[in-house]
Structure 1
Amino acid sequence: MELEIRSPAREYVVLCIGVWTVVANSLPLAAIVKHEQLHTPVYILMAINLAASDVLTGATVVILFLLIHTYTQSILSNTMLHFIFTSAFLTGLSTAFGLLALTAERYWFIVHGMTYVSNVTNDKCKVVVVIVWMLSVALAMLPNFGWHCPSRAEEGCVPLGGGLAHGYVVLVQVFIFSAMAGIVLLNASVFWCLWKHVNAIADQEAAVGAESSTSRRSAITVGIVTVAFLVGWLPLLIKMSFPSDVSDVHMVFMILNSAMNPVIYGFRLSEVRRSVARLFLNCSGNDN
């Protein structure tokens, strides 16, 4: 994929989206890390996996903009594409695995709520976070350790990141599509349970001390995030199956997915809104 300057106005719009993505995702991430009442499995998985992945996406967009305006086209195409697409793949992999972990946590809470407290703990979720990021980094870094095409013109080479071996692209697709399948199945089970066992869920919420309807609202939020993720990443993943360049449209869908997630959190989760507001109150010295 050649990265070329086509429209300065378009570039600055994308830059603004990148900056927004970094700032907007950093706020819920900082709020969840700072406020102890949000140190629960669902928010640990939401913050350190999803929000952190989206911050990485925005940072990659900003860095790409700076590179385009700093280096010549040839240097950027030959030297920096591996870095750019390593970051993009790291974002996609960590988002897919992180969303799978978050959906599994919501599935356990809603479908097996009576055993949730004893089986799903903060420490276990932190271990899951470490596994998610270690696996994502390992898979995203493979092209930088030799698993790439000697030449982008080589037959069967996928012209991403300066030329990716077809086998590597298939491996990434298998991992992400498997995660997507798991996410969809778990979400289907969650919503089936929500529909069939409303009264039982209320008892489960009382047993673990959750506010009324908290689980339903968070499950619906995860469902919305899942749909946004599928819309943002499926076109790119499908396009990668063909030995042709990925268009700007595919990349924009991916970026917009990360830009939309903090809006979804803020609109759907009152706890996140309040905690973000408290960050500003703390800064102004008016924490109550």
Structure 2
Amino acid sequence: MPVAYRRARQILFIYRTFIDHNTNRFKVQTPTAVAVQEVSPWDIALCVTGTLISCENALVIAILFYTPTLRAPMFILIGSLAVADLLAGLGLILNFVFNYLIDKSLEFLTLLSVGLLISAFSASVFNILAITVDRYLSLYNALTYHTERTVTFTYMMVVFIWVSCLTLGLLPALGWNCLRDETTCSICRPVTKNNAVALAITFLLVFALMMQLYLQICKIAFRHAQQIAVQHQFLAISTTKGVSTLSAILCAFGACWLPFAMYSIVADSSYPIIYTYATVLPATCCSVINPVIYAFRNPDIQKSLWMACCGCVPSNLSLRPRTSSDV
């Protein structure tokens, strides 16, 4: 009996060993759960902002494209600004997709996303400057503004802006990035700290030039307002509206972009990323405001928008001839 008992215990031990071995083997072969990356609410906010930017500016582009009468120089610049902001919105959406839905180790996609954002936002800033220059010339050379030379000059400005901004966007792909040396990164990877500082200083120069042009426009507008007779009161109202519009432009432009520009100069990749988000988000909001300031306030664009949506024009909508100060 003891011999049989020992034999039974040996068989039971061998059976348990076999079961444990196969169980461990099966556990090893079972695939582990894939870690899900947590989505940052800041990235969601940027993606939503990009979607809003894209919808707004796509509407502006559609109105300008399907309305043959909107071909004046100011509408050319508005269209160029809308294209820049549309690309900026698409860039924000693509950046979200590349970060959370596609392998982040693909350097090509990172450089593509950053290059698109640099080109688009740079073009947006320079188009705002071009519109400011156009407003100044429309008041300074009021008699010769509506000529073929002005149209040619406008197209030259648009071409120069886009060539310059596309070149800036290609710089990261041409090697001007910090992918090989993370210590040289700016607050916006993979842009290097030196490049970010250069872009920020360029923005500050653009803003200073816009302020100077704004002061000159104010002087000209106030001088015109004093010289215009009572029978030309319409022109005085139009000039005053142009000055108030430009004031709104500068306030919105500075409030949106100055925090990001100043932070880009003083900070680098070692700073908390929440500060970067807190300055980037207001900067992107400038592209949300631009269609409202430049396009939807214009009577001609309002008329085309009402015609496209309702097939009629409200009786209270001003149908006076457009002037160069309406934007």
TM-score bracket, shorter-length normalisation = 0.7 to 0.9
Deviations 1:119-161 (A, max 9, x none): 752232112111110011112211211122353433x542523
Answer yes or no: is the 8 Å Cα contact 2:98–2:110 preserved in 1: no
Rounded to whole Å, the distance in 2 between the matches of 1:82 and 1:150 is 10
Answer yes or no: is the 8 Å Cα contact 2:85–2:121 preserved in 1: no
Deviations 1:235-265 (A, max 9, x none): 2222221323562112211221111222234
2:164 aligns to what? 135
1:285 aligns to what? none
1:286 aligns to what? none
Question: What are structure 1's unaligned runs of at least 5 residues?
Answer: 283-288
Q: After TM superposition, list the pairs within 5 Å mapping 1:83-94 onto structure 2.
A: 83-94=112-123
Rounded to whole Å, the distance in 2 between the matches of 1:68 and 1:150 is 16
Task: Give aligned-pair identity as a percent.
Answer: 22
Distance 1:47 1:256, change over 3 A: same
| Residue-pair matches, total | 269
2:217 aligns to what? 190
Answer yes or no: is the 8 Å Cα contact 2:256–2:282 preserved in 1: yes
Report the alpha carbon displacement of residue 13 of structure 1 after superposing the two structures with TM.
4.3
What SS does structure 2 have at the residue aligned with 1:243?
coil
1:123 aligns to what? 152
Q: Work out which structure has the larger RCO, using CA pairs closer than 8 Å and 6 or more positions apart in sequence.
A: 1
1:54 aligns to what? 85
Q: Does 1:224 align with 2:248?
A: yes
Distance 1:128 1:175, change over 3 A: same
More moved, 30-39 vs 251-260: 30-39
Deviations 1:215-245 (A, max 9, x none): 4434433432232222222222222213235
Q: After TM superposition, list the pairs within 5 Å mapping 1:1-288 onto structure 2.
A: 5-7=38-40, 11-48=43-80, 50-72=81-103, 74-75=104-105, 78-118=107-147, 121-149=150-178, 151-154=180-183, 156-164=184-192, 166=194, 168-200=195-227, 213-241=237-265, 242-244=267-269, 245=271, 247-265=276-294, 268-281=297-310
What letter corresponds to residue 144 of structure 1 in structure 2?
A: A
Question: What are structure 2's unaligned runs of at least 5 residues?
Answer: 1-36, 312-327
Instruction: Quote the RMSD (CA, aligned, Å).
Output: 2.9
Please report the TM-score for the alignment, with normalisation by the length of structure 1. 0.80
Rounded to whole Å, the distance in 1 between the matches of 2:55 and 2:100 is 22
Answer yes or no: is the 8 Å Cα contact 1:41–1:120 preserved in 2: no
Rounded to whole Å, the distance in 2 between the matches of 1:15 and 1:30 is 22
Higher percent of residues as helix: 1
